[in-house]
Amino acid sequence: MEKVQYDRTGKLNLSTIYDRPDPVSYFSTLSQLDYAIPQAAKPLFARLIAARRSSTGRDAIKVVDLGCSYGVNGALLKYGLSMATLYRLYGNGFGGGRGDLVKRDRAIFDDPVDDDLQIVGIDQAGNAVDYAVDAGSLDGGLAADLERDGLTPPGRRAVGDADLIISTGCFGYVTERSLELLLEAAADTRPWMAHFVLRMFSFDAARAMLERHGYITEKADGLYRQRRFVSQDERRHVLDNLAAAGIDPAGAEATGWYFAELHVARPREKARKVPLAALLDGAVAVGAGEALTH
Ligand SMILES: C[S@@+](CC[C@H](N)C(=O)[O-])C[C@H]1O[C@@H](n2cnc3c(N)ncnc32)[C@H](O)[C@@H]1O
C-alpha cells in the first residue's frame, strides 16, 4: 500500500489511487483494507431497483452511480460480480498494459445478469470513469466534480431520465450540492435516492434539501461495514469525530471498522404509501457485529 496520509476529516487519503489509468491500485489497496460497502449495499440496491421498477411499471431502469470509480456498483448490480471477484481480478496486479486489461474485462462485462438495467456513473476521477466505460461495467460515464463545477448541459442530459441515484463511499466527498444538481436535472423522472453514508458524516443538510424538493428521507435499519481502519491514528480521528457528533461507537467503530448507514429518499407521495422497511424486508443488516456476505 502507498504512504499513509489523512484528509481533513481524519480519513486515510486515498486520492492517489482514485484516478489511475487502470483499476489495479484501487482494488489492490482497498482489498488490504477489506473495503466491503458495495458488497453490503448490493442486496439493498437490488431491492430498491425491484421496487422502483414496480413503481414505474417498466423493467427498463436507469441508475446513476455518484462516485462510481471504476464502475464497482455496475459490476456488482448489472454483471452479478462480487467484491471478492473484483479483488481477485485486479488485486494481485496484472501482467499486461491497460489495453490488455480492457480487452480481458470486455469479455467479462459482456454478459449482464440484468439486461434492462442501464447504469451511468459520475466521478471526478476521469481515468476511472473512462476505464469503466471502455471495459463495459458502466453503460455511460461522466467525469465531473459537481461540487466544484456544477452540471454541464451534456451532463444534465446524461442523468436527466434517472430512476434511481445511488452511492457507496462517496458522500462526505460530495454533499447535498451534488445531490440537488442531480435531482434538478432529473426533475421529470423524480428519481429515488439511496446513499450509504459513514456515520461520522451528517446527512441532515441533504435531508433538508430533499424535503424542500418534496422528498422524504428514511434511514434503513442496520449498520454496514465499510472498511477497516488503517491505523490507530485513523481510529482515533474517527472516534473523535463520532464523539463530537454524539455517536456511541461501542460494538461498531470501536471494533476497528468504519460503519455506514443507508439513507433512502423518495417523493413524499411514494414514501407515504409504502414504508422503507417494507421495501427492504429481509435485506437489512442484522447488527453491527454481523458481516454481510452476499
Ligand atoms: C471510496 S471511493 C468509492 C468508489 C465506489 N463507489 C466504491 O464504493 O467502490 C470514493 C470515490 O468518490 C470519488 N469522488 C471524490 N470526490 C468526488 C467529487 N467531488 N465528485 C465526484 N466523485 C468524487 C472518488 O474519485 C472515488 O472514486
Nearest CA to ligand 1 atom 9: 72
Read off the pLDDT of residues 163-182 as tens digits, 9 standing for 90 and up.
Answer: 999 999 999 999 999 999 99
The verdict on the CB of residue 71 being under 6 Å from ligand 1 is no
The verdict on the CB of residue 128 being under 6 Å from ligand 1 is yes
The verdict on the CB of residue 125 being under 6 Å from ligand 1 is yes
Mutate to test the pocket of ligand 1, among 69, 81, 130, 159 (most ligand atoms within 8 A of CB): 69
- With 0-12 / 13-18 / 19 or more C-beta atoms within 10 angstroms meaning exposed / middle / buried, residue 277 is exposed
pLDDT in single tens digits along all 294 residues of the chain: 445 677 777 777 888 999 999 999 999 999 999 999 999 999 999 999 999 999 999 999 999 999 999 999 999 999 999 999 999 999 888 888 999 999 999 999 999 999 999 999 999 999 999 999 999 999 999 999 999 999 999 999 999 999 999 999 999 999 999 999 999 999 999 999 999 999 999 999 999 999 999 999 999 999 999 999 999 999 999 999 999 999 999 999 999 999 999 999 999 999 999 999 999 987 776 544 444 332
Q: What are the φ/ψ torsions at residue 55 (nearest 5 degrees)?
A: -75, -30
Distance of CA 69 to the CA centre of its chain: 9
SS (H, E, C) 96-138: CCHHHHHHHHHHHCCCCCCCCEEEEEEECCHHHHHHHHHHCCC
Q: Which three cell numbers, joined as nine digits, stand for 74? A: 455496475
State in Å: Cα 169 to ligand 1 middle.
Answer: 7
The verdict on the CB of residue 174 being under 6 Å from ligand 1 is yes
Tell me what pLDDT residue 4 has: 63
State in Å: Cα 68 to ligand 1 middle.
Answer: 6
Please state the pTM of the whole predicted model. 0.95
Nearest CA to ligand 1 atom 19: 145
Atom of ligand 1 nearest to the CA of 148: 19
Contact 101, 70 (CB under 8 A): no
The verdict on the CB of residue 151 being under 6 Å from ligand 1 is no
Nearest CA to ligand 1 atom 14: 67
Q: Which three cell numbers, joined as nine digits, stand for 126? A: 476521469
Q: What are the φ/ψ torsions at residue 83 (nearest 5 degrees)?
A: -65, -35
Mutate to test the pocket of ligand 1, among 29, 73, 166, 173 (most ligand atoms within 8 A of CB): 173
Q: Tell me the CATH number of domain 15-279, given options 3.40.640.10, 2.60.120.590, 3.40.50.150, 1.10.8.60.
A: 3.40.50.150
Q: Where are the domains of the chain?
A: 15-279
Atom of ligand 1 nearest to the CA of 173: 16
State in Å: Cα 88 to ligand 1 middle.
Answer: 21
Q: State the number of CA atoms in the 13 A half-sphere of 28 facing the CB.
A: 14
Between CA 16 and CA 23 the distance in angstroms is 12
Nearest CA to ligand 1 atom 10: 170
| Cα–Cα distance list, 271 to 45, 136, 185, 201, 266 (Å) | 16, 34, 21, 24, 6
The verdict on the CB of residue 169 being under 6 Å from ligand 1 is yes
With the C-alpha atoms ordered 280, 210, 39, 248, is the resulting torsion angle positive or negative? negative
State in Å: Cα 165 to ligand 1 middle.
Answer: 14
Between CA 117 and CA 29 the distance in angstroms is 29
For residues 260, 36, 146 and 46, what is the CA-based torsion angle, rounded to 10 degrees?
-90
Read off the pLDDT of residues 123-134 as tens digits, 9 standing for 90 and up.
Answer: 999 999 999 999
Nearest CA to ligand 1 atom 27: 69
State in Å: Cα 67 to ligand 1 middle.
Answer: 4
